[in-house]
Amino acid sequence: MLQRKFDKIVKGYFPKAMDAKDTSIHYLGKMQIEHKLDISRILMATSVCSDDINVPSTTFFNVLFGPFIMGGLGGLPFAGQTGMTAFAHHIPDDGSAFIFYGPHIGITLEGDLGKMYRPRQEQTGNSCGALMLALSRLGDSSYTPVINDDDYQQMKLEESLLPYREQILDGENKEKAITEATYEIIDEKIHSYIKACKNEFHVDKITLLGGIIINTDYGLDDYFDAKNFEVIDLKNL
């Protein structure tokens, strides 16, 4: 019942979003049937935010090996080209790669984006915390992030968002806008690391599934708004 209520609210913001179970069935089916990939020989990597709330939302592909964890705060692939290379070297012989990536955003039954009820907490908290912190800082026009060793990921995340500052602050829904901008940043980085590391893969196919994870209440299915599904043939890259 509660799930059905969430379904309506989530689809008000993300009309094409599917719940976690439907997402895995839909895309694993496509990989197997349309692309003839052997599901039993796929290694998965993720580039999603470190937030504990995303652990159940990424295990919905748990029939696959992995995941190799590339993501840090906000979901940016902080493991970089070295991480992509290591992942490439771990793929089963005659298998293929699968990378699931994107930022996340919480939603409440009241329809608030950027917030969620976490396990055994009475009050809502931010989700994604890193992005909502970045949003509050970028709202101050005099603010510039200072890259430092002790808060490296957050500062890099904020720096990556600077070119999108105006677009985010002018957005009808700033929480949604900063999440969408972060998706663009992650998507661009994943593609560029694959290109840079293409000779490290001993297999031909890499499946990408990128989008926005939408966190609902604890215990209920999360949703996923897919923005990119593609099977890259490294021979043609």
Which range, of 51-59, 172-180, 184-192, 228-236, touches Zn ion by CB under 5 A?
Answer: 51-59
Scan residues 148-187 and list those touching Zn ion (CB under 5 A): none
Residue 182's nearest CA partner among 208, 149, 159 is: 159
Scan residues 79-138 and list those touching Zn ion (CB under 5 A): 128, 130
Q: Which two tokens stand for residue 193?
A: 């690391």
- Distance CA(203)–CA(154), nearest Å, equals 34
Which is it for strands 223-233 and 205-215: parallel, antiparallel or unpaired?
antiparallel
Does residue number 214 form part of the binding site for Zn ion (CB under 5 A)? no
Q: Which is nearer to Zn ion, 84 or 134 (CB)?
A: 134
Closest approach, Cβ 129 to Zn ion, in A, equals: 5
Closest approach, Cβ 168 to Zn ion, in A, equals: 16
Q: Which two tokens stand for residue 93?
A: 């012989």
Closest approach, Cβ 68 to Zn ion, in A, equals: 19
Under a CB-based contact definition with an 8 Å cutoff, are residues 102 and 210 in contact? yes
- What amino acid is encoded at 195 in this protein? K
Q: How many residues bind Zn ion (CB under 5 A)?
A: 4
Task: State the Cα angle at 91 between 87 and 93, rounded to 5°.
Answer: 155
Closest approach, Cβ 59 to Zn ion, in A, equals: 17
Which range, of 42-50, 108-116, 147-155, 184-192, touches Zn ion by CB under 5 A?
Answer: 42-50
Is residue 101 helix, strand or coil?
strand
DSSP 106-154: EB-TT--BTEEEPTT-SSEEETTHHHHHHHHHHTSTT------GGGHHH
Task: State the Cα angle at 199 between 197 and 200, rounded to 5°.
Answer: 70
Which range, of 11-19, 41-49, 118-126, 136-144, touches Zn ion by CB under 5 A?
Answer: 41-49
> Binder to Zn ion among 44, 49, 168, 234 (CB under 5 A)?
49
Closest approach, Cβ 198 to Zn ion, in A, equals: 29
- What amino acid is encoded at 93 in this protein? D
Q: Which is nearer to Zn ion, 51 or 217 (CB)?
A: 51
Which range, of 9-17, 19-27, 45-53, 155-163, touches Zn ion by CB under 5 A?
Answer: 45-53
Q: Which is nearer to Zn ion, 10 or 28 (CB)?
A: 10
Site for Zn ion, rule CB under 5 A: 49, 51, 128, 130
